[in-house]
Amino acid sequence: MIVLGLSSGTSVDAIDAAAADFSLGADGVLRMRPLGHTEYPWPDALRERILKALPPAAVDVAEVAQLDTLIGQEIGRAGRRAIDDVAGGDADLVASHGQTIYHWVVGARARGTLQLGNAAWIAEHVKRPVISDFRVADVAAGGHGAPLVSVLDALWLGRDAADEGSGLTAALNVGGIANVTLVGRVDDPVTGWDTGPGNCLLDVAVAALTEGRLAYDRDGALAAQGTVDDVALAALLDDPYFAAPAPKSTGRELFDATYVGRRLAAVRPDLTGPDLVATLTELTAVTVADALAGHDVRRVVVSGGGARNPVLLDRLRAALDARVTSGCAVLTADALGLPVDAKEAYLFALLGFLSAHGLPGTAQGEHRRRATGARRAVVLGSLTPPGPLPWAAATTPVRRLVLANTPRGVVPRDPGPTTGPTKGSTR
């Protein structure tokens, strides 16, 4: 079954698309053959409207309704192109995450979440069934609806029972928000949560510093020129979110465009330039390492735009050495066969496959909960158009995800304890 996954993150820079061919064996092993991935930039005018609608903006219902339609139409156009560009003109199902506009969290509980991009418009463009709105069912079951990537991480990175060694793998995704999943052996419970800002605060600072000429700190060049301000870093780290227990989730509702100015107003109101960028890069690295402290983490597998920032990866290595364990391996998802820029799009392709076959889309967590904190496992998403799918519900639970025929001949297993930083851009 070929599924096209479509995703747009909190940076709102592009619509990511990835296609994969899935086959589920009677042994519970799901084989995923990546077919390719690409991205389509948002039109400038629409991206500007989306960014203006994000917290702390006050948006009227007319703008929400219009954005729901316009985002759906644009995702539909991207999906139509992607079927030809990465799926060879052949796809059975399209899975769309939409664009997160608001994630409603009160204290330790998620109350609701809103992703725009009406699925009827997507289905009209792609002329295929569409599964969308993946997060709400998990929130309704008591979960955070995030990070959903924990199901991919658990199935993909879990160690076989016969494997020697011990310790955990931390699957780290650094997008606008950074999230982590702790994975041990196959079938062991996993934990996953949002650690805090990934690139979102950095992107705001870089755009302001360059008067909009740059949207992100390419190759960490600005951070490399600056010096971390310890007083400012301490003020940022004092946010209660970082001390809250997992599972937890966050977004631009907390880490919005005014966040840094408000947190630093009393201590470093004039901090700017490369020193601010260096400090915010350190904030991401330190909050990830602090989140992993106390866990037996032996390697960290990084994906998302942050995996393209060598300065961030270097600071992460240093923070892990100081807070977790000396010599903790840091490698990118590329090294294990999953493109760092496309992991979330492949995630939604996976979730589309699971939902189409009546299988739950969250990983087993601790204390009889799911990794998201939900009370029970639920099938995620809504089907457009409604009606019976041409696939029977699966009778075998999925225990393992194996990447089959991985493109570009990359090694499908851990190549060793060390991997140098990957050059490229950060989103």
Cis link prior to 385 (omega < 30° from 0)? yes
Quick: pLDDT tens for 145-179: 988 999 999 999 998 876 766 789 999 999 999 99
Nearest to 198 by CA among 140, 273, 281: 281
Quick: pLDDT tens for 69-108: 999 999 999 999 999 999 999 999 999 999 999 999 898 8
* Predicted local distance difference test score (pLDDT) of residue 426: 35
Under the banding of pLDDT at 50, 70 and 90, the label for residue 237 is: very high
Q: Is the CB of residue 189 less than 8 Å from the CB of residue 365?
A: yes
* Predicted local distance difference test score (pLDDT) of residue 10: 79
Q: What is the mean pLDDT of residues 32-44?
A: 96
Could you tell me which residues come within 8 angstroms of residue 361 by beta carbon, excluding any fewer than 6 positions away?
A: 134, 138, 148, 151, 351, 354, 355, 378, 379, 380, 381
* Predicted local distance difference test score (pLDDT) of residue 324: 87
* Predicted local distance difference test score (pLDDT) of residue 395: 87
* Predicted local distance difference test score (pLDDT) of residue 405: 57
| Exposure on the CB side of residue 106, measured as CA atoms within 13 A | 4
Give the DSSP letter of residue 220: G
Quick: pLDDT tens for 102-144: 999 898 889 999 999 999 999 999 999 999 999 999 999 999 9
Q: Is 202 left (phi over 0), alpha (psi -120 to 50) or beta?
A: alpha
Could you tell me which residues come within 8 angstroms of residue 138 by beta carbon, excluding any fewer than 6 positions away?
A: 144, 145, 148, 361, 362, 370, 372, 374, 378, 380
* Predicted local distance difference test score (pLDDT) of residue 407: 44
Quick: pLDDT tens for 268-321: 999 999 999 999 999 999 999 999 999 999 999 999 999 999 999 999 999 999
Q: Is 27 helix (H, G, I), strand (E, B) or coil?
A: coil
Under the banding of pLDDT at 50, 70 and 90, the label for residue 417 is: very low
**Domains contained in the chain, CATH given:** 2-150+340-409 (3.30.420.40), 157-336 (3.30.420.40)
Under the banding of pLDDT at 50, 70 and 90, the label for residue 424 is: very low
Q: Is 243 left (phi over 0), alpha (psi -120 to 50) or beta?
A: alpha
Please give the single-letter amino acid code of residue 144.
Answer: H
